[in-house]
Amino acid sequence: MAGTIYLPQIAVPAPLFPARLGVQIEGAVADHADRLIPGRLYQWPLRWMDHPSERHDANATALAGYPQIITIKCVPPAYRLWPGFAGSPPARQHYLTYAEFARRIVEQYKPVAVELFNEPNVWVNEAAYPDFYGAWVGEGETMYQGGRRYGEFCAAVYPTLQYKTKVLAGALMARPEMVEFLQGAIDAGMMADALSFHCYIGEQDDFIKFADCVSALRSRTRLPLVCTETAVVGDGSAAHQSAKAEYVRWLRANTPWGVEAVIWYSLDADWQYSNLDGEAWEVWRWE
d(Cα 46, Cα 264) in Å, to the nearest integer? 17
Is 13 within the bounds of a domain? no
**Phi/psi-derived region of residue 209, left when phi > 0, alpha when psi is between -120 and 50, beta in every other case:** alpha
How confident is the model over 115-144, as a mean pLDDT? 89
Is 184 within the bounds of a domain? yes
Using CB atoms within 10 A of its CB, is residue 195 exposed (0-12), middle (13-18) or buried (19+)?
buried
Is 114 within the bounds of a domain? yes
- Confidence band (pLDDT; 50, 70, 90) for 259? very high
Instruction: Name the residue among 115, 94, 157 with its Cα closest to residue 16.
Output: 115
Is 155 within the bounds of a domain? yes
Residue 3: per-residue pLDDT: 62
How confident is the model over 239-265, as a mean pLDDT? 94
How confident is the model over 260-267, as a mean pLDDT? 97
- Confidence band (pLDDT; 50, 70, 90) for 9? low
How confident is the model over 247-258, as a mean pLDDT? 91
- Confidence band (pLDDT; 50, 70, 90) for 5? low
| Sign of the alpha-carbon dihedral angle for 266, 268, 272, 275 | positive
Check whether 11 has a pLDDT greater than 80.
no
How confident is the model over 205-209, as a mean pLDDT? 93
% of the chain at pLDDT higher than 70: 95
Is 7 within the bounds of a domain? no
Range of the domain at 104: 21-286
Q: How many structural domains does the chain have?
A: 1
How confident is the model over 140-168, as a mean pLDDT? 98
Residue 133: per-residue pLDDT: 79
| Helices then strands, each counted (H, E), the chain | 7, 8
Is 1 within the bounds of a domain? no
Residue 14: per-residue pLDDT: 83
Beta strands 41-47; 68-73: pairing state: parallel
| Residue 110 DSSP SS3 | coil
Q: What CATH number corresponds to the domain at position 74?
A: 3.20.20.80
Contact between 60 and 79 (Cβ < 8 Å): no
- In the chain, which residue ranges form alpha helices assigned H by DSSP? 54-62, 95-109, 143-161, 178-187, 208-218, 238-254, 278-286
d(Cα 144, Cα 186) in Å, to the nearest integer? 10
| Sign of the alpha-carbon dihedral angle for 145, 150, 151, 157 | positive
DSSP bridge partners of 21: 262
Residues, the chain? 287
Looking at the whole model, is its pTM more than 0.75?
yes
Check whether 256 has a pLDDT greater than 90.
no
Residue 257: per-residue pLDDT: 83
Check whether 120 has a pLDDT greater than 70.
yes
Check whether 193 has a pLDDT greater than 60.
yes
Within 8 A by CB and 6+ apart from 190, the residues are 150, 151, 154, 155, 169
Within 8 A by CB and 6+ apart from 98, the residues are 48, 72, 75, 79, 90, 153, 157
Residue 270: per-residue pLDDT: 85
216/2: higher pLDDT: 216
- Confidence band (pLDDT; 50, 70, 90) for 129? confident
How confident is the model over 124-130, as a mean pLDDT? 79
Is 73 within the bounds of a domain? yes
Instruction: Name the residue among 150, 65, 78 with its Cα closest to residue 116.
Output: 150
Is 164 within the bounds of a domain? yes
- Confidence band (pLDDT; 50, 70, 90) for 52? very high
* Least reliable range by pLDDT among 3-17, 39-53, 59-73, 132-146: 3-17
Beta strands 166-173; 194-202: pairing state: parallel
The continuous run of DSSP H or E covering 226 comes out as strand 225-233
d(Cα 55, Cα 42) in Å, to the nearest integer? 16
